Amino acid sequence: MKTLNPVEGQRWVAGMMPLAVGDPLAGADVLGVPSVYWERPLAQEAAAGWGEAAVVVAEEPSQAPAALASLGALSLRWVGEEPESMPGPWFGGMRFGATGVPDAAWNAHGVARWTLPEVLVWRAGTGLMVAAFAPEERGGEDAVRSRLERVRACYPEAYRHARGTPVALAQASSRPAFEARVERALEAIAAGHLQKVVLARSLDAEGPEAFDLVDVLARLREQNPRCATFLFRAPDGTCFLGATPETLCRVEGQVVQTEALAGTAAPGQAEGLKGHDKDLREHDSVVRYILATLRPLAEKVTSDSEPALLTLKNVVHLRTGIRAELRPGVTAAQVVAALHPTPAVGGFPRERALSFLVENEGLDRGWYAGPVGWIGPKRAHLMVALRSALVRGAKARLFVGVGLVAGSTPEAEWRETEMKSLAMLRALGGGDVVRR
């Protein structure tokens, strides 16, 4: 594990102040594309971070849980008032897991990468707050004060709407290759080797010029108010961003909220979903896995008695809400390590499904379907990074997956991946996407 600015043994100083009414995203007009971005419009939770006061990086998959656990060791001294409900201060994520076909495009994001921004702006009630972070030694307090003043002096008060006009995207992906992989998965299911496996594919899209990622974020949050819009920028400028509906875990003290999200229909066919045996089986394996995984960590675990419909712009999902009260001493990092990957994005039985993906998926998922979000003392929110893309310049690689069980068909699953790709395509292109 590598700490770019050592956290252990180092003390950090932080300060904060209110900003006038505004929008965390609007800061991008003066401070540039943020290093980290997070927004859940319906929950009125939004945060943008610039710069990197500290970064914790895992270099090997085996180091990812320790990297996450180490974030709690941050020794932070607040000058003046302490915030009550600041998201973070660590923002980042990690890879889905092992891959059979490593893609160097993911290298700069690392196996796991957690950033403590130099400046963090977040929504608090009707206004904004800004915090700054710096190492204690060598004038930390002065750095914090000057950063806060600099941000206050330049921060725009307007809301940042998308401004660009729609552009045509060149798109490339292989339907025959994906359908052949679906067939292979269905054979493994028919042979009794697997009950469920979630197979993903990529789709390459290219715009006429470099994507304006602030515009893309503005569209993602506006078009997907029930989702978490996120962005993580790696040191080489590559950005991983998206708008995902799936919470891996929200931790507030000892209380955890999570959900099973699996089973999908087109918006027009939502009503049939609750009575559809294939989708109910696909969903049920996720509910059972999450309940069994949380029980050893929790005093009490409860779930909704039946799945409800979660209606998004392009798709409808089956959703079961799950809550747990953690045993004393159990941390958010332990909950993440235990839950990820759930059968909503991996499969069941878990290890067999993951090996099947390494051998047959033919894709480096990178951070797609991995945990992304924020973590701080006593609170954390990690989402499953779906409906997302890795973007560099004018090129974007989108990722979409589908849960396969007995009864799935290649054609229907291809269509489902097409539907799921619309959220990112609409945000990248800025216009409606026509699918034949």
Measured from the CB atom, the residue of 130 and 241 that comes closer to ligand ISJ is 241
Residue 223 lies near ligand ISJ (rule: CB under 6 A) = no
Residue 274, judged by CB atoms within 10 A of its CB (0-12, 13-18, 19+), counts as: middle
From the list 93-101, 227-235, 346-354, 396-404, the region that binds ligand ISJ by CB under 6 A is 396-404
Told to judge if 149 belongs to the known catalytic residues of this protein, a careful annotator would answer no
Selecting among 39, 246, 259, 282, the annotated active-site residue is 246
Of 203, 262, 333, 336, the one binding ligand ISJ by CB under 6 A: 262
Selecting among 39, 45, 52, 196, the annotated active-site residue is 196
CA atoms of 147 and 153, how far apart (whole Å): 10
> What does the block give as tokens for 419?
């539907």
Residue 401 lies near ligand ISJ (rule: CB under 6 A) = yes
Shortest Cβ 260–ligand ISJ spacing (Å): 8
CA atoms of 322 and 301, how far apart (whole Å): 7
From the list 87-95, 256-264, 287-295, 357-365, the region that binds ligand ISJ by CB under 6 A is 256-264
Shortest Cβ 115–ligand ISJ spacing (Å): 25
Q: Which residues contact 70 (CB under 8 A, 6 or more apart)?
A: 1, 3, 7, 8, 56
Measured from the CB atom, the residue of 131 and 312 that comes closer to ligand ISJ is 312
CA atoms of 367 and 369, how far apart (whole Å): 6
What's the sign of the alpha-carbon dihedral 422, 427, 429, 433?
A: positive
Helices (DSSP H) in 340-409: which residue ranges?
A: 350-360
From the list 26-34, 222-230, 320-328, 399-407, the region that binds ligand ISJ by CB under 6 A is 399-407
From the list 27-35, 121-129, 169-177, 395-403, the region that binds ligand ISJ by CB under 6 A is 395-403
- Angle of helix 277-294 versus helix 332-339 axis, rounded to 10: 140
Residue 371 lies near ligand ISJ (rule: CB under 6 A) = no
Closest CA to 311 of 248, 381, 373, 263: 263
Name the helix (H) or strand (E) containing 116: strand 112-116
> What does the block give as tokens for 131?
């915090």
For residue 99, give the amino acid letter.
Answer: T
Of 290, 344, 405, 419, the one binding ligand ISJ by CB under 6 A: 344
Q: In degrees rounded to 5, what are phi and psi of residue 389?
A: -150, 150
Of 403, 410, 429, 430, the one binding ligand ISJ by CB under 6 A: 403
Shortest Cβ 411–ligand ISJ spacing (Å): 15
SS3 call for 188: helix
Of 109, 113, 340, 420, the one binding ligand ISJ by CB under 6 A: 420
Q: What single DSSP character describes residue 269?
A: G
Measured from the CB atom, the residue of 50 and 96 that comes closer to ligand ISJ is 96
From the list 40-48, 207-215, 232-240, 398-406, the region that binds ligand ISJ by CB under 6 A is 398-406
Told to judge if 209 belongs to the known catalytic residues of this protein, a careful annotator would answer no
CA atoms of 380 and 375, how far apart (whole Å): 4
Measured from the CB atom, the residue of 117 and 341 that comes closer to ligand ISJ is 341
Closest CA to 229 of 48, 19, 429: 48
Q: Which of residues 273-312 bind ligand ISJ (CB under 6 A)?
A: 282
Shortest Cβ 418–ligand ISJ spacing (Å): 12
CA atoms of 256 and 293, how far apart (whole Å): 13
Q: What residues act catalytically?
A: 196, 246
Binding site for ligand ISJ (CB under 6 A): 198, 200, 246, 261-264, 282, 317, 344-345, 386-387, 400-403, 420
